[in-house]
Chains A and B, each alone.
Chain A
């Protein structure tokens, strides 16, 4: 079902952090070539077609929340190996060292132009942002924390879907996260999803699609089934714009498409419209 996301996605920009700055990267949407240095200056937005490329967690937090306001929750949580999948533990160890991340999602509290919020950011560099036990647990806890403290939640989603190496346990994280979202919602909490590249599979089919407000960045991939799986079913090639943010917007599954440079102010306005104003600081 999610078969081909992995392959397709790997061929696109490899938004590594340790690449040579004179390196040229190719836009996965328009095939335009651009110097990595310039691309980074543009916060990884293609100057030719406006595709919004993948950011690391720290880049995302830096451009979204108030300086020094981010406090991470569950910072030390790492994955077990629930189905004893061969080499899974070793691969995790390697990835943690390589990326500096503990798993595919980072959660915490922060302020956006003074408005307090819980925030979660997924990182596609960590096993394609796939959701396993750690992502499920951290996201559920983030929503529970927000429910207890009457805070809104903003989730930046980026995922190839379920973490295959955790088998059925990864599937159950969909129920865990969707359940936590539902209780937060029933308690009157605001939840804003920001879909970034790519938002697919089991993440689309759980917490990502449950936002009160769903925002997407331009030209990002959003869908449930993999493009090649569908092409295999229908035996023909799909149009280039299939499953892009603009497609989902037209079909009614995305409220608004917001450019990266306007994201922070948009989120700030939306928080305030829902009564989440800057809190008075103790002097």
Chain B
């Protein structure tokens, strides 16, 4: 057994060069992958990848945020920070999945939605809001997996699901520890301290009811054994998707809403 890592140590692992991205996993987890492009409204956002594939024998829809593996890839995919058209592409493909009774698998890996003039002009807030609302009642099972970092509403736009899994070192947060430190303490250099008190690890997510499952990473992190981590992802999905597909869809939707409905702490 490895010694338990701190949130900060895990952050170093997910931000290290060589951390596998969705493009590494797809060929090892799925077959017959066909990528689909565009939101049919404005354009094709390379920060969000979508398509159809088989998981074992079952047709599924894949929607994912794409991190680059080098600077050129990262330029093309905008460092996995989607514009509104990326979220609208995701929604189009989710509705396509619903129509053809395919389960949806979302891979979350983003620092957040892109903050820019064009993103605002085209309604970043509206695009995220709509995905959250529409995914809540999408009449097909949705499983989301956080591969690395899941930042803010930009992550949640692919995170309304029947079950959320986290890779062991992955993090999910309302904003980056750096941003958190700079807002609350006016000192971005206190990001390490922020990461430790924000509750952002996979274990925190399970404890807070945000995630249900932690997918084990190879010793030292996913990059140390891509085959093994891919196998773990595939095994998880192959077990979980049929389980969700067997459920009556109205029961599933009720449970989906309840999952989010009960998160929060208040006194009355």
Contact assessment for B184 and A164 in the assembled complex, using a CB-CB cutoff below 8 Å: yes
Is B236 interfacial (CB 8 A cutoff)?
no
Contact assessment for B116 and A181 in the assembled complex, using a CB-CB cutoff below 8 Å: no
- Residue ID in chain B nearest A5 by CB atoms: B183
Contact assessment for B136 and A182 in the assembled complex, using a CB-CB cutoff below 8 Å: yes
Convert A199-224 into 0s and 1s, putting 1 for each residue whose CB lies closer than 8 angstroms to a CB of B: 00110111111100000000000011
- Of A74, A162, A174, the most chain B CB neighbours within 10 A belong to A174
Contact assessment for B156 and A225 in the assembled complex, using a CB-CB cutoff below 8 Å: no
List B contacts of A112 (CB < 8 A): none
Contact assessment for B136 and A3 in the assembled complex, using a CB-CB cutoff below 8 Å: no
Is B86 interfacial (CB 8 A cutoff)?
no
Chain B, interface size category, equals: 35 or more
Is A270 interfacial (CB 8 A cutoff)?
no
Is B71 interfacial (CB 8 A cutoff)?
no
Contact assessment for B125 and A205 in the assembled complex, using a CB-CB cutoff below 8 Å: yes
Contact assessment for B132 and A174 in the assembled complex, using a CB-CB cutoff below 8 Å: yes
- Residue ID in chain B nearest A82 by CB atoms: B265
Whether A209 contacts B125 in the complex (CB less than 8 A), given A82-B208, A85-B197, A168-B204, comes out as yes
List A contacts of B176 (CB < 8 A): 1
- Residue ID in chain A nearest B153 by CB atoms: A205
Is B51 interfacial (CB 8 A cutoff)?
no
Contact assessment for A179 and B115 in the assembled complex, using a CB-CB cutoff below 8 Å: no
Looking at the assembled complex, report how far the CB atom of B94 sits from the nearest CB atom of chain A, in whole angstroms.
14
Contact assessment for A233 and B136 in the assembled complex, using a CB-CB cutoff below 8 Å: no
Contact assessment for A225 and B266 in the assembled complex, using a CB-CB cutoff below 8 Å: no
Question: How many Å lie between the Cα of A162 and that of B151 in the bound state?
Answer: 13
Whether A168 contacts B200 in the complex (CB less than 8 A), given A174-B156, A210-B133, A253-B126, comes out as yes
Contact assessment for B152 and A175 in the assembled complex, using a CB-CB cutoff below 8 Å: no
- Residue ID in chain A nearest B199 by CB atoms: A83
- Residue ID in chain B nearest A77 by CB atoms: B268
Is B205 interfacial (CB 8 A cutoff)?
yes
97-133 of chain B: CB within 8 A of chain A: 112-113, 115-117, 119-126, 128-130, 132-133
Given contacts A83-B197, A171-B152, A172-B156, 19 further A-B contacts (CB under 8 A): A1-B153, A1-B179, A134-B266, A137-B266, A162-B152, A166-B174, A168-B174, A168-B205, A169-B208, A169-B265, A172-B210, A175-B132, A175-B260, A178-B129, A183-B257, A204-B129, A208-B125, A209-B123, A210-B129
Some 9 contacts from A to B, beta carbons below 8 A apart, are: A1-B153, A3-B182, A6-B183, A164-B174, A167-B174, A174-B129, A176-B264, A209-B130, A252-B123
Interface, chain A (partner B; CB < 8 A): 1-3, 6, 74, 76-83, 85-86, 132-134, 136-137, 140, 162, 164-176, 178-183, 185-186, 201-202, 204-210, 223-226, 229-230, 233-234, 238, 242-243, 251-253
